[in-house]
Structure 1
Protein backbone atom coordinates (compact mmCIF):
# COMPACT_ATOMS: atom_id res chain seq x y z
CA UNK A 1 0.00 0.00 0.00
CA UNK A 2 1.24 3.47 -0.85
CA UNK A 3 1.97 5.83 1.97
CA UNK A 4 -0.28 8.37 0.27
CA UNK A 5 -3.29 6.04 0.29
CA UNK A 6 -5.51 6.58 3.31
CA UNK A 7 -6.02 3.53 5.47
CA UNK A 8 -9.01 1.40 4.66
CA UNK A 9 -9.18 2.51 1.02
CA UNK A 10 -7.69 -0.74 -0.19
CA UNK A 11 -5.67 0.94 -2.90
CA UNK A 12 -8.77 2.01 -4.84
CA UNK A 13 -8.01 5.73 -4.68
CA UNK A 14 -4.98 7.76 -5.52
CA UNK A 15 -3.94 11.24 -4.52
CA UNK A 16 -3.96 13.94 -7.18
CA UNK A 17 -3.40 17.70 -7.16
CA UNK A 18 -0.74 19.85 -5.64
CA UNK A 19 -2.71 21.71 -2.95
CA UNK A 20 -5.07 19.34 -1.29
CA UNK A 21 -5.27 15.59 -1.63
CA UNK A 22 -8.35 14.69 -3.74
CA UNK A 23 -9.39 11.13 -4.24
CA UNK A 24 -10.82 9.95 -7.64
CA UNK A 25 -11.84 6.49 -8.77
CA UNK A 26 -9.73 5.27 -11.73
CA UNK A 27 -11.56 5.20 -15.04
CA UNK A 28 -12.14 1.96 -16.85
CA UNK A 29 -11.05 1.92 -20.50
CA UNK A 30 -13.89 -0.47 -21.38
CA UNK A 31 -16.43 1.92 -19.91
CA UNK A 32 -15.06 4.84 -21.88
CA UNK A 33 -15.16 2.86 -25.13
CA UNK A 34 -18.77 1.81 -24.49
CA UNK A 35 -19.83 5.41 -23.88
CA UNK A 36 -18.15 6.52 -27.12
CA UNK A 37 -19.80 3.77 -29.18
CA UNK A 38 -23.21 4.52 -27.67
CA UNK A 39 -22.83 8.21 -28.51
CA UNK A 40 -21.87 7.44 -32.11
CA UNK A 41 -24.83 5.08 -32.52
CA UNK A 42 -27.30 7.65 -31.16
CA UNK A 43 -25.94 10.38 -33.46
CA UNK A 44 -26.10 8.03 -36.46
CA UNK A 45 -29.71 7.05 -35.80
CA UNK A 46 -30.68 10.69 -35.35
CA UNK A 47 -29.07 11.59 -38.69
CA UNK A 48 -30.79 8.69 -40.50
CA UNK A 49 -34.17 9.71 -39.07
CA UNK A 50 -33.64 13.27 -40.23
CA UNK A 51 -32.89 12.10 -43.78
CA UNK A 52 -36.08 10.01 -43.80
CA UNK A 53 -38.18 13.01 -42.77
CA UNK A 54 -36.57 15.16 -45.45
CA UNK A 55 -37.30 12.45 -48.03
CA UNK A 56 -40.95 12.13 -47.00
CA UNK A 57 -41.73 15.83 -46.96
CA UNK A 58 -39.33 16.88 -49.67
CA UNK A 59 -40.34 14.26 -52.25
CA UNK A 60 -36.80 13.23 -53.09
CA UNK A 61 -35.94 9.75 -54.32
CA UNK A 62 -34.21 7.23 -52.11
CA UNK A 63 -32.15 4.26 -53.31
CA UNK A 64 -35.07 1.97 -52.42
CA UNK A 65 -37.46 3.99 -54.58
CA UNK A 66 -34.99 4.09 -57.45
CA UNK A 67 -34.52 0.32 -57.27
CA UNK A 68 -38.29 -0.26 -57.29
CA UNK A 69 -38.72 2.04 -60.28
CA UNK A 70 -36.01 0.19 -62.19
CA UNK A 71 -37.63 -3.13 -61.31
CA UNK A 72 -41.04 -2.10 -62.71
CA UNK A 73 -39.95 -0.19 -65.80
CA UNK A 74 -39.07 -3.26 -67.94
CA UNK A 75 -42.55 -4.72 -67.38
CA UNK A 76 -44.15 -1.38 -68.13
CA UNK A 77 -42.06 -1.02 -71.27
CA UNK A 78 -43.12 -4.49 -72.48
CA UNK A 79 -46.79 -3.63 -71.91
CA UNK A 80 -46.47 -0.40 -73.88
CA UNK A 81 -44.72 -2.19 -76.74
CA UNK A 82 -47.40 -4.89 -76.81
CA UNK A 83 -50.15 -2.28 -76.96
CA UNK A 84 -48.46 -0.56 -79.90
CA UNK A 85 -47.95 -3.74 -81.97
CA UNK A 86 -50.67 -4.15 -84.62
CA UNK A 87 -52.66 -7.33 -84.14
CA UNK A 88 -51.75 -7.69 -80.47
CA UNK A 89 -54.22 -8.77 -77.81
CA UNK A 90 -55.30 -5.14 -77.31
CA UNK A 91 -56.08 -4.74 -81.06
CA UNK A 92 -57.26 -8.05 -82.50
CA UNK A 93 -57.16 -8.44 -86.31
CA UNK A 94 -60.44 -7.77 -88.11
CA UNK A 95 -61.97 -10.47 -90.29
CA UNK A 96 -63.87 -8.88 -93.17
CA UNK A 97 -66.91 -10.52 -94.75
CA UNK A 98 -67.08 -11.24 -98.47
CA UNK A 99 -68.70 -8.46 -100.57
CA UNK A 100 -71.48 -10.86 -101.57
CA UNK A 101 -72.44 -11.25 -97.90
CA UNK A 102 -73.29 -7.56 -97.56
CA UNK A 103 -76.21 -5.48 -98.76
CA UNK A 104 -75.40 -1.88 -99.63
CA UNK A 105 -78.00 0.88 -99.85
CA UNK A 106 -76.69 3.99 -101.61
CA UNK A 107 -78.17 7.44 -101.03
CA UNK A 108 -77.19 10.75 -102.57
CA UNK A 109 -76.83 13.52 -99.95
CA UNK A 110 -75.32 16.00 -102.44
CA UNK A 111 -76.67 18.29 -105.15
CA UNK A 112 -75.17 16.13 -107.92
CA UNK A 113 -77.85 14.23 -109.82
CA UNK A 114 -77.49 10.55 -110.67
CA UNK A 115 -74.69 10.00 -108.14
CA UNK A 116 -76.50 7.31 -106.16
CA UNK A 117 -77.30 5.11 -109.19
CA UNK A 118 -73.80 5.32 -110.68
CA UNK A 119 -72.19 4.46 -107.34
CA UNK A 120 -74.64 1.64 -106.71
CA UNK A 121 -73.73 0.14 -110.09
CA UNK A 122 -70.03 0.27 -109.16
CA UNK A 123 -70.70 -1.48 -105.85
CA UNK A 124 -72.65 -4.17 -107.71
CA UNK A 125 -69.75 -4.63 -110.12
CA UNK A 126 -67.49 -5.31 -107.13
CA UNK A 127 -69.71 -8.12 -105.89
CA UNK A 128 -71.80 -6.26 -103.31
CA UNK A 129 -75.53 -6.75 -103.14
CA UNK A 130 -77.36 -3.50 -103.79
CA UNK A 131 -80.62 -3.06 -101.95
CA UNK A 132 -81.89 0.41 -102.82
CA UNK A 133 -80.53 3.69 -104.09
CA UNK A 134 -81.87 7.23 -104.36
CA UNK A 135 -81.82 10.60 -102.66
CA UNK A 136 -81.00 10.85 -98.97
CA UNK A 137 -83.62 11.72 -96.39
CA UNK A 138 -83.79 15.37 -95.23
CA UNK A 139 -81.98 14.30 -92.06
CA UNK A 140 -78.80 13.77 -94.13
CA UNK A 141 -79.40 15.72 -97.35
CA UNK A 142 -76.62 18.31 -97.89
CA UNK A 143 -75.40 17.66 -94.32
CA UNK A 144 -72.68 15.05 -94.93
CA UNK A 145 -69.36 16.91 -95.19
CA UNK A 146 -67.09 13.87 -95.61
CA UNK A 147 -66.91 11.55 -98.62
CA UNK A 148 -69.58 9.32 -97.10
CA UNK A 149 -71.49 8.54 -93.93
CA UNK A 150 -71.84 4.81 -93.38
CA UNK A 151 -74.67 3.61 -91.16
CA UNK A 152 -74.53 -0.01 -90.02
CA UNK A 153 -75.56 -2.40 -87.29
CA UNK A 154 -74.08 -2.96 -83.85
CA UNK A 155 -71.16 -5.18 -82.87
CA UNK A 156 -67.88 -6.41 -84.34
CA UNK A 157 -69.44 -7.94 -87.45
CA UNK A 158 -71.28 -4.73 -88.27
CA UNK A 159 -68.08 -2.74 -87.73
CA UNK A 160 -66.17 -5.05 -90.08
CA UNK A 161 -68.91 -4.63 -92.70
CA UNK A 162 -68.78 -0.82 -92.50
CA UNK A 163 -64.99 -0.80 -92.73
CA UNK A 164 -65.07 -3.06 -95.79
CA UNK A 165 -67.42 -0.61 -97.48
CA UNK A 166 -65.40 2.42 -96.35
CA UNK A 167 -62.27 0.93 -97.94
CA UNK A 168 -64.04 1.10 -101.31
CA UNK A 169 -64.65 4.84 -101.06
CA UNK A 170 -61.97 7.38 -101.86
CA UNK A 171 -61.58 9.94 -99.12
CA UNK A 172 -62.71 9.99 -95.52
CA UNK A 173 -65.83 8.12 -94.46
CA UNK A 174 -67.62 8.49 -91.15
CA UNK A 175 -68.90 5.31 -89.48
CA UNK A 176 -72.15 5.42 -87.52
CA UNK A 177 -72.97 2.07 -85.84
CA UNK A 178 -76.45 1.45 -84.54
CA UNK A 179 -77.20 1.34 -80.83
CA UNK A 180 -77.23 -1.98 -79.03
CA UNK A 181 -80.60 -3.68 -79.26
CA UNK A 182 -81.68 -1.70 -82.32
CA UNK A 183 -82.22 -4.88 -84.30
CA UNK A 184 -80.52 -3.46 -87.38
CA UNK A 185 -78.93 -6.24 -89.52
CA UNK A 186 -75.15 -6.44 -89.22
CA UNK A 187 -74.82 -7.27 -92.92
CA UNK A 188 -76.55 -4.12 -94.20
CA UNK A 189 -74.75 -0.79 -94.69
CA UNK A 190 -76.38 2.48 -95.75
CA UNK A 191 -74.01 4.70 -97.72
CA UNK A 192 -74.80 8.42 -97.57
CA UNK A 193 -72.65 10.05 -100.27
CA UNK A 194 -71.44 13.42 -98.98
CA UNK A 195 -69.94 16.61 -100.33
CA UNK A 196 -66.42 15.14 -100.19
CA UNK A 197 -67.28 12.19 -102.41
CA UNK A 198 -65.58 11.92 -105.80
CA UNK A 199 -65.47 8.24 -106.72
CA UNK A 200 -64.73 4.74 -105.48
CA UNK A 201 -61.09 3.79 -104.91
CA UNK A 202 -59.07 1.59 -107.27
CA UNK A 203 -58.18 -2.01 -106.51
CA UNK A 204 -54.69 -1.27 -105.13
CA UNK A 205 -55.98 1.53 -102.92
CA UNK A 206 -58.72 -0.77 -101.60
CA UNK A 207 -56.19 -3.50 -100.77
CA UNK A 208 -53.97 -1.02 -98.97
CA UNK A 209 -56.89 0.39 -96.98
CA UNK A 210 -58.10 -3.07 -95.98
CA UNK A 211 -54.60 -4.07 -94.85
CA UNK A 212 -54.42 -0.98 -92.64
CA UNK A 213 -57.92 -1.53 -91.23
CA UNK A 214 -57.38 -5.24 -90.58
CA UNK A 215 -54.60 -4.64 -88.04
CA UNK A 216 -55.20 -1.28 -86.37
CA UNK A 217 -52.58 -0.01 -83.94
CA UNK A 218 -53.83 0.44 -80.39
CA UNK A 219 -52.58 3.70 -78.93
CA UNK A 220 -51.43 3.43 -75.27
CA UNK A 221 -53.54 5.45 -72.73
CA UNK A 222 -52.23 8.76 -71.57
CA UNK A 223 -49.80 8.58 -68.62
CA UNK A 224 -49.11 4.76 -68.90
CA UNK A 225 -46.00 4.95 -71.23
Structure 2
Protein backbone atom coordinates (compact mmCIF):
# COMPACT_ATOMS: atom_id res chain seq x y z
CA UNK A 1 0.00 0.00 0.00
CA UNK A 2 1.29 3.47 -0.74
CA UNK A 3 0.78 6.97 0.41
CA UNK A 4 0.19 7.83 4.00
CA UNK A 5 -1.23 4.37 4.68
CA UNK A 6 2.11 2.69 4.13
CA UNK A 7 2.80 -0.10 6.66
CA UNK A 8 6.12 0.01 8.37
CA UNK A 9 7.87 -2.33 10.81
CA UNK A 10 8.10 -6.11 10.97
CA UNK A 11 4.63 -6.80 12.48
CA UNK A 12 1.60 -7.19 10.30
CA UNK A 13 -2.03 -7.31 11.40
CA UNK A 14 -3.65 -10.73 11.39
CA UNK A 15 -6.12 -11.10 8.60
CA UNK A 16 -7.89 -14.20 10.03
CA UNK A 17 -9.34 -15.12 13.45
CA UNK A 18 -6.95 -16.74 16.04
CA UNK A 19 -6.75 -20.46 16.10
CA UNK A 20 -8.91 -22.36 18.60
CA UNK A 21 -6.44 -25.18 19.22
CA UNK A 22 -5.65 -24.05 22.77
CA UNK A 23 -9.34 -23.85 23.63
CA UNK A 24 -9.96 -27.35 22.28
CA UNK A 25 -7.08 -28.71 24.34
CA UNK A 26 -8.44 -27.12 27.51
CA UNK A 27 -11.95 -28.48 26.86
CA UNK A 28 -10.62 -31.98 26.12
CA UNK A 29 -8.49 -32.07 29.29
CA UNK A 30 -11.42 -30.81 31.36
CA UNK A 31 -13.77 -33.47 29.97
CA UNK A 32 -11.22 -36.20 30.63
CA UNK A 33 -10.79 -34.99 34.20
CA UNK A 34 -14.56 -34.97 34.80
CA UNK A 35 -14.95 -38.47 33.36
CA UNK A 36 -12.04 -39.72 35.47
CA UNK A 37 -13.46 -38.27 38.66
CA UNK A 38 -16.91 -39.69 37.89
CA UNK A 39 -15.48 -43.14 37.19
CA UNK A 40 -13.42 -43.09 40.39
CA UNK A 41 -16.49 -42.07 42.40
CA UNK A 42 -18.51 -44.90 40.85
CA UNK A 43 -15.82 -47.43 41.77
CA UNK A 44 -15.77 -46.09 45.32
CA UNK A 45 -19.56 -46.52 45.62
CA UNK A 46 -19.36 -50.06 44.25
CA UNK A 47 -16.55 -50.79 46.71
CA UNK A 48 -18.65 -49.50 49.63
CA UNK A 49 -21.77 -51.50 48.76
CA UNK A 50 -19.94 -54.71 47.93
CA UNK A 51 -17.56 -54.68 50.89
CA UNK A 52 -14.44 -54.01 48.90
CA UNK A 53 -14.20 -57.44 47.30
CA UNK A 54 -10.48 -57.62 48.08
CA UNK A 55 -9.55 -55.40 45.08
CA UNK A 56 -6.28 -53.55 44.93
CA UNK A 57 -6.36 -49.84 45.73
CA UNK A 58 -5.08 -47.15 43.34
CA UNK A 59 -2.02 -46.57 45.51
CA UNK A 60 -0.79 -50.15 45.31
CA UNK A 61 -1.76 -53.79 45.85
CA UNK A 62 -3.76 -54.67 48.94
CA UNK A 63 -3.89 -58.21 50.32
CA UNK A 64 -7.32 -59.65 50.99
CA UNK A 65 -7.83 -60.83 54.57
CA UNK A 66 -10.91 -62.91 55.26
CA UNK A 67 -12.06 -64.61 58.46
CA UNK A 68 -13.05 -68.23 58.12
CA UNK A 69 -14.84 -70.46 60.57
CA UNK A 70 -13.25 -73.77 61.42
CA UNK A 71 -15.13 -76.50 63.30
CA UNK A 72 -11.89 -78.18 64.27
CA UNK A 73 -11.67 -76.51 67.68
CA UNK A 74 -13.79 -77.99 70.44
CA UNK A 75 -14.92 -76.71 73.79
CA UNK A 76 -15.03 -79.01 76.78
CA UNK A 77 -18.43 -79.10 78.52
CA UNK A 78 -18.83 -78.26 82.17
CA UNK A 79 -17.76 -81.13 84.41
CA UNK A 80 -20.77 -83.41 84.68
CA UNK A 81 -21.05 -86.24 87.19
CA UNK A 82 -21.35 -89.81 86.00
CA UNK A 83 -24.55 -91.74 86.83
CA UNK A 84 -22.61 -93.72 89.46
CA UNK A 85 -21.89 -90.43 91.25
CA UNK A 86 -25.55 -89.41 91.46
CA UNK A 87 -27.87 -90.60 94.23
CA UNK A 88 -31.54 -90.56 93.27
CA UNK A 89 -34.57 -90.79 95.55
CA UNK A 90 -37.56 -92.22 93.68
CA UNK A 91 -41.03 -91.22 94.86
CA UNK A 92 -44.44 -92.18 93.48
CA UNK A 93 -47.00 -89.35 93.35
CA UNK A 94 -49.65 -91.39 91.49
CA UNK A 95 -52.38 -93.79 92.62
CA UNK A 96 -50.62 -96.66 90.82
CA UNK A 97 -48.65 -98.85 93.18
CA UNK A 98 -45.20 -100.28 92.55
CA UNK A 99 -43.99 -97.51 90.18
CA UNK A 100 -41.31 -96.22 92.54
CA UNK A 101 -39.77 -99.67 93.04
CA UNK A 102 -39.71 -100.69 89.38
CA UNK A 103 -38.37 -97.29 88.31
CA UNK A 104 -35.65 -97.35 90.97
CA UNK A 105 -34.60 -100.85 89.87
CA UNK A 106 -34.30 -99.68 86.25
CA UNK A 107 -32.25 -96.64 87.23
CA UNK A 108 -29.94 -98.89 89.23
CA UNK A 109 -29.40 -101.03 86.11
CA UNK A 110 -28.41 -97.88 84.25
CA UNK A 111 -25.72 -97.08 86.78
CA UNK A 112 -27.40 -94.62 89.16
CA UNK A 113 -27.16 -94.91 92.93
CA UNK A 114 -30.55 -95.28 94.60
CA UNK A 115 -31.49 -93.58 97.86
CA UNK A 116 -35.02 -93.55 99.26
CA UNK A 117 -37.87 -95.29 97.47
CA UNK A 118 -41.54 -94.80 98.37
CA UNK A 119 -44.57 -92.54 98.09
CA UNK A 120 -44.26 -88.81 97.45
CA UNK A 121 -44.78 -86.26 100.21
CA UNK A 122 -48.10 -84.40 100.61
CA UNK A 123 -46.62 -81.47 98.69
CA UNK A 124 -46.49 -83.60 95.53
CA UNK A 125 -48.75 -86.63 96.19
CA UNK A 126 -51.41 -86.79 93.43
CA UNK A 127 -50.42 -83.28 92.32
CA UNK A 128 -47.97 -84.06 89.50
CA UNK A 129 -49.90 -84.25 86.23
CA UNK A 130 -46.90 -84.62 83.92
CA UNK A 131 -44.53 -87.54 83.58
CA UNK A 132 -42.48 -86.48 86.56
CA UNK A 133 -40.51 -83.86 88.44
CA UNK A 134 -36.76 -83.84 88.95
CA UNK A 135 -35.98 -81.95 92.15
CA UNK A 136 -32.57 -81.06 93.54
CA UNK A 137 -30.50 -78.34 95.21
CA UNK A 138 -29.55 -75.21 93.28
CA UNK A 139 -26.09 -76.65 92.62
CA UNK A 140 -27.62 -79.54 90.65
CA UNK A 141 -29.23 -77.35 87.98
CA UNK A 142 -26.34 -77.70 85.53
CA UNK A 143 -24.76 -80.86 86.91
CA UNK A 144 -26.72 -83.88 88.13
CA UNK A 145 -30.21 -82.79 87.03
CA UNK A 146 -29.34 -82.74 83.29
CA UNK A 147 -27.74 -86.18 83.63
CA UNK A 148 -30.81 -87.68 85.30
CA UNK A 149 -33.04 -85.89 82.77
CA UNK A 150 -31.56 -88.06 80.01
CA UNK A 151 -33.42 -90.97 81.61
CA UNK A 152 -36.79 -89.20 81.61
CA UNK A 153 -36.54 -86.44 79.01
CA UNK A 154 -40.10 -85.19 79.48
CA UNK A 155 -39.76 -84.58 83.23
CA UNK A 156 -39.88 -81.08 84.69
CA UNK A 157 -36.73 -79.83 86.40
CA UNK A 158 -36.89 -77.87 89.63
CA UNK A 159 -34.40 -76.68 92.21
CA UNK A 160 -34.84 -75.83 95.88
CA UNK A 161 -32.45 -73.15 97.19
CA UNK A 162 -33.05 -74.28 100.77
CA UNK A 163 -32.13 -77.86 100.00
CA UNK A 164 -28.72 -79.16 101.07
CA UNK A 165 -26.70 -82.14 99.95
CA UNK A 166 -26.30 -83.56 96.44
CA UNK A 167 -29.14 -86.11 96.37
CA UNK A 168 -31.90 -85.45 93.85
CA UNK A 169 -35.49 -86.70 93.67
CA UNK A 170 -37.40 -88.29 90.84
CA UNK A 171 -41.09 -87.79 91.58
CA UNK A 172 -43.25 -89.89 89.27
CA UNK A 173 -46.36 -88.14 87.91
CA UNK A 174 -49.68 -89.22 86.41
CA UNK A 175 -48.35 -89.00 82.82
CA UNK A 176 -45.53 -91.46 83.50
CA UNK A 177 -45.48 -94.67 81.50
CA UNK A 178 -41.81 -95.64 81.49
CA UNK A 179 -38.34 -94.22 81.54
CA UNK A 180 -36.78 -93.13 78.27
CA UNK A 181 -35.61 -96.21 76.36
CA UNK A 182 -32.04 -97.28 77.16
CA UNK A 183 -30.87 -96.55 73.61
CA UNK A 184 -32.34 -93.04 73.54
CA UNK A 185 -31.13 -92.33 77.08
CA UNK A 186 -27.60 -93.41 76.18
CA UNK A 187 -27.67 -91.25 73.05
CA UNK A 188 -28.89 -88.24 75.04
CA UNK A 189 -26.22 -88.78 77.69
CA UNK A 190 -23.49 -89.06 75.05
CA UNK A 191 -24.63 -85.85 73.41
CA UNK A 192 -24.74 -84.09 76.78
CA UNK A 193 -21.20 -85.03 77.74
CA UNK A 194 -19.57 -84.72 74.29
CA UNK A 195 -17.30 -81.72 73.62
CA UNK A 196 -19.11 -79.06 71.62
CA UNK A 197 -17.47 -77.66 68.45
CA UNK A 198 -16.70 -73.96 68.42
CA UNK A 199 -15.89 -71.68 65.52
CA UNK A 200 -12.30 -70.48 65.37
CA UNK A 201 -11.28 -67.58 63.15
CA UNK A 202 -8.67 -68.10 60.48
CA UNK A 203 -7.31 -65.11 58.60
CA UNK A 204 -6.19 -65.65 55.06
CA UNK A 205 -3.72 -62.76 55.02
Range class of TM-score, shorter chain: 0.5 to 0.7
State how 1:38-117 maps to structure 2 within 5 Å: 38-42=30-34, 44-45=36-37, 62-68=46-52, 75=67, 78=69, 82=71, 88-89=74-75, 92-117=76-101
Deviation string for 1:149-196 (max 9, x for gaps)? 2122335x6423112222333x52232345xxx253462212121233
Q: Distance in 1 between matches of 2:127 and 2:50?
A: 60
User: Which one has the bigger helix percentage?
Assistant: 1
Secondary structure, in 3 states, of the residue corresponding to 1:14? coil
Q: Say which of 135, 152, 158 aligns to 1:151.
A: 135
Confirm or deny: 8 A CA contact 1:144 1:195 kept in the other structure.
yes
- Give the unaligned 5+ runs of structure 1: 17-23, 56-61, 221-225
Per the TM alignment, residue 136 of structure 1 is displaced from its structure 2 partner at its CA by 4.6
Partner of 1:20: none
State how 1:1-225 maps to structure 2 within 5 Å: 10-11=11-12, 13-16=13-16, 24-27=17-20, 29-42=21-34, 44-45=36-37, 62-68=46-52, 75=67, 78=69, 82=71, 88-89=74-75, 92-124=76-108, 126-131=111-116, 133-138=118-123, 141-145=126-130, 147-155=131-139, 158-169=141-152, 172-178=154-160, 182=161, 184-185=163-164, 187-201=166-180, 203-215=182-194
Secondary structure, in 3 states, of the residue corresponding to 1:159? coil
Q: Aligned Cα RMSD in Å?
A: 4.1
Q: Distance in 2 between matches of 1:35 and 1:9?
A: 34
TM-score, normalised by the number of residues in structure 1? 0.59
Per the TM alignment, residue 130 of structure 1 is displaced from its structure 2 partner at its CA by 0.8
Secondary structure, in 3 states, of the residue corresponding to 1:131? strand
Q: Distance in 1 between matches of 2:188 and 2:37?
A: 67
Confirm or deny: 8 A CA contact 2:101 2:117 kept in the other structure.
no
Confirm or deny: 8 A CA contact 1:153 1:159 kept in the other structure.
no
Give aligned pairs, total. Answer: 184
Confirm or deny: 8 A CA contact 1:140 1:192 kept in the other structure.
no
Where relative contact order (Cα < 8 A, 6+ residues apart) is larger, the structure is 2
Instruction: Label 1:219 to 1:144 Cα distance change in 2 as closer, same or farther (>3 A).
Output: farther
